[in-house]
Structures are given as C-alpha cells and as structure tokens.
Amino acid sequence: MASITLNHLVKKYGDGFPAVNDISIDIADGEFIILVGPSGCGKSTLLRMIVGLEDITDGDLLINGQRVNDKAPRDRNLAMVFQNYALYPHLTVYENIAFPLRLAKGKHSEEQVDKLVTEAAATLELTDHLQRKPANLSGGQRQRVAMGRAIVRQADAFLFDEPLSNLDAKLRGQMRSEISQMQRRLGVTSVYVTHDQTEAMTLGDRVAVLKKGELQQIASPRELYEQPVNLFVAGFIGSPSMNFLPATLEGNVLRTAVGDLEIPAEKARKAAGKKVVLVGVRPEFFEDAKLVEDHKRSNGSTFMATLTHTEWLGNEQYGYINFDPAPEMRELLNNLARDMDADELRPQVVVTLDAASRIRGGREAELWLDTRKLHLFDAETGENLTRDAEAGAELTRQAGEERAEEIATAQQADGHGNGNGTGFSSGTSGRTDGAPHGQGNGAPVDAAATRSGGATAAGGKRSAG
C-alpha cells in the first residue's frame, strides 16, 4: 500500500524532445489512476518512469514520501503488467508466478512460495494450468498469468501498461471488470495506461488526460465528461465524441452553421467579448423535438435541421447533420482532429435520438437541444469558458467517497466471505453465462458489483456506437 507523488516530472530524450513535460500528480493510497491520451502523448513513458525503466530527467518521484528517482526498479517494490505480458516462456505458469518470490532470496520458504502461488492462481482461476507453459495458453490465460505475477508479492502498487489491448473485445470486457474488482478487493494503489476510453471511464477513480507530454486535466470520469477544462479533453472523452460547432454570439443567441440557438444568459455572460466561440455539444444533448416532454422543453431551444442519414441501434439512434464551416474555422477543427489522432474532423454533427423517433435522413426536422449542458470554448486557446470548477470538484470528491466505500465493502466481504477469490470467480461465471452479474455474492458486495456491472454495460453500449 502506498501513495505515489509525481512532482514536476520531466523526461527529455537525447534530442531534447520532452516526451513528458512537467507532470505533477498526487496518487492517494488505494486509488486507481488512469493515464489516457492519444498515441505519443507520453503516457507509457510516464508509467515506465514510475516503475524505473526510464530515467527521470527532472522532477521528483516519491513513493510513500520517499524520493525514489535513483532507485533501481527492483528497489521500488512495484508490480507491473506489460502490454505483451512478458511471460518467461521457459518456465511453467507456476514458476512464472513464483518468479518474483524466488528472486527475493531467503524471504519465503518453499511452503510459503507454494501457498502464495496457489492462492494467486486460485484468485485468477489458473489452478488447472499451473504446470503448463505460456506458449500453450490462450491470450486471456496469459494475461492472467501476468496478473498473477503482479499480485503474488505484496507490491506497493500495480502498474498496468495497456494490459487489455491484445485481447478480443469480449475478453477485454470480462478482464476489465475482473481488474476492477480485484483492485477494490486488494485496495492496492494502481496506475493504468490505456488509450481506450471505455477502460478509462469504467476503471478509474481519477483519469489523467495527457496530450503531447503535458497533463491536460486529472479528475473523476464524470468531471472529465461534464466539466472538461478544454477542447482537447472535451473531444477526447466520450464516444461518439463531442460535437464542436463554430458560432458567433449575439446577446443570448448563438449563430451556428446548423441554426440559431438561444442559450442561458449565465453561459452567454461567460463568453462575452469573444467574437467567435466553439460550442461543445454532446450527441445526447439533442433530442427529437416531438419527443421532448413539455416540462423539459424550456430547458433548451429548438431548431430546424436536415439530417443526412440516421442509424438505428435498438436502444437509441444516431443522426448526422453536415454543416459547412468558414475556412478559418475548418482549419481550427482540423488542428483539433490532428491532436486527437484523427486525420480530419468532418464538419458533421452527431445527434443521439430516442429509438422511437421517426426522423429520417433527407427531411427537415425539428430538433431540441438541452442548452443547460453545452459548453463554450475559446476558439483560440481552446479553454472552456463555461466550466464550473466547483461542480467539477464536487463530482471528483463524490467519486473519492464512493471509492473508499467500495474498498471497505469489498474488503469486508472478503473478510467474512468464503475466503479469497469467491466474489471474484462468481462474478466471472455470472458474466460468461450471461446471468446478471454479482448474483450469488453476499449482500455486502452487491453494491459494488452492481455498480461495476452497470458501468460495463454502459461501456459496451458506448463502444457499440
């Protein structure tokens, strides 16, 4: 158990290029931190700096308040799961898991090693495979062995480097929930690198969004989603991603390429004086005006638009509106797309409509937009003009409380449950046969299990789109 403090960490390579630039993060004991960003943003480098595989050019790295900049990886007592698992192919699964214990010479007797390995294997459902070689295992099993090697010793923290990126989609969802439950049960500080935002949103207590080696924002998933600090975070988090519409502000009315929108005076005031702003609207802020209940209608404004086409997904449908931005705006949008790893941001608005909506492509229709939730961004700096820092902080504080509660319940359940791994494995079997997951667990785990189950379902829905 440990807290990790990153204090103005800098990593410069030989050519002076800063791969990681002045990043400061305080990771509390037991917290699950996600590092996320497009490829080349320095997230993996940062993780490798923490574990000691990359030298730190400048700044301090503290584990439990102790500066460890110059310590070798083996003296930091951290466990890491590599993207390609890095199993030792000449050793059996048993010896792979026992490897860290055998290296700590004299600390463990043969019986202790055996006990620890058997326990870890039971937790990860590897008991039947202990005598096999990694070459004969499936991808998911290899992944578990890599995890087993991490959990077998009492490491201060777990570091994950895109551990699920080599698995297929179904297995990824399953392993994701297993990692989440295991982290809660063990209460171990974890740092997890990913480029998959479903993983970021579902696993993290707090998510750090990185861009070009710089920390953009670190907050709970909800704060990132609802109160992003800038265009980059707003565009990176969420799928389908947030729509950005260039607009000019006249009083309380935004003149955009898809129509005029009246916004709350409070938001307009924050953007006052700016000639051009970018309006950030998440797809689900839109709705078919016909289906909006009367008492909600006043929360937003309606406009007429022609959808090019719609995609019906069963639980909802996506509609697409093309628009033609001014040339200088197009440039801005393209820059933004490049930052986020896409070639070109198509001047298109994605709207999520109720599955019952009869709006179809080609016909003009009336859409309603919840204007309370939209954000206005400075077109030059990308800064979010309408961010409510207090509301955001409140969301992150709530997430922190939930975490503490979950760890407590998970560990409590573990304590008077049927020993190690029970909740874990029944969670898994619940998943595989499609039954509601978490069933069969004791009452105390239910809250945690339901929550993560819900989150997974939401994640699945998002990635389906």
Tokens of 352: 């999520």
Tokens of 230: 């800038």
Closer Cβ to another protein, 48 or 387, answer by number:
48
Residue 163 CB, shortest distance to another protein, in Å, is: 11
Work out how close the CB of 80 gets to another protein at its nearest, in angstroms, rounded to a whole number: 5
Q: Which is nearer to another protein, 145 or 201 (CB)?
A: 145
Beta-carbon contacts of 137 under 8 Å, excluding residues fewer than 6 positions away, are 93, 129, 145
Least spacing, CB of residue 187 vs another protein, in Å: 21
Nearer to another protein, 101 or 351 (CB): 101
We find the least distance from the C-beta atom of residue 305 to another protein, in angstroms, to be: 46
Residue 53 or 464: the one with the smaller Cβ distance to another protein is 53
Q: Choose between 162 and 223: whose C-beta lies nearer to another protein.
A: 162
The type of residue at 370 is D
Angle at 364 (CA atoms; ends 358, 370), nearest 5 degrees = 75
CA-to-CA distance for 235 and 38, rounded, in angstroms? Answer: 11
In the sheet that holds 286-288, the strands lie side by side as: 286-288, 364-369, 301-306
The number of beta carbons lying within 10 Å of the beta carbon of residue 461 is 14
From residue 41, alpha-carbon distances to 9, 130, 202, 413 in Å are: 14, 38, 21, 39
- Provide, rounded to whole angstroms, the least separation between the CB of residue 435 and another protein: 30
State the minimum distance, in angstroms, from the CB of residue 85 to another protein: 6
* Cβ within 8 Å of residue 351, ≥6 positions away: 283, 286, 307, 318, 319, 320, 321, 367
Q: Is the Cβ of residue 148 or residue 423 nearer to another protein in the bound state? A: 148
CA of residue 246 relative to chain centroid, distance = 28
Of 89 and 415, nearer to another protein (C-beta) is 89
Write the DSSP symbol of residue 286: E
Structure tokens at 9: 């960490």
Rounded to a whole number of angstroms, the minimum distance from the CB of residue 134 to another protein is 4
Cβ proximity of 405 and 412 under 8 Å: no
SS3 64: coil
- Interface ranges with another protein (CB under 8 A): 51-53, 72-74, 78-80, 82-90, 99-100, 103-104, 133-137, 139, 142, 149, 153, 166
Q: How far apart are CA 309 and CA 319, in angstroms?
A: 6
- 137 vs 376 by CB, closer to another protein: 137
Smallest gap from Cβ 159 to another protein, in A, equals 8
Cβ 51 to another protein shortest distance, Å = 6
Three-state secondary structure string covering 242-265: CEEEEEEEECCEEEECCEEEECCH
Q: Which is nearer to another protein, 196 or 226 (CB)?
A: 196
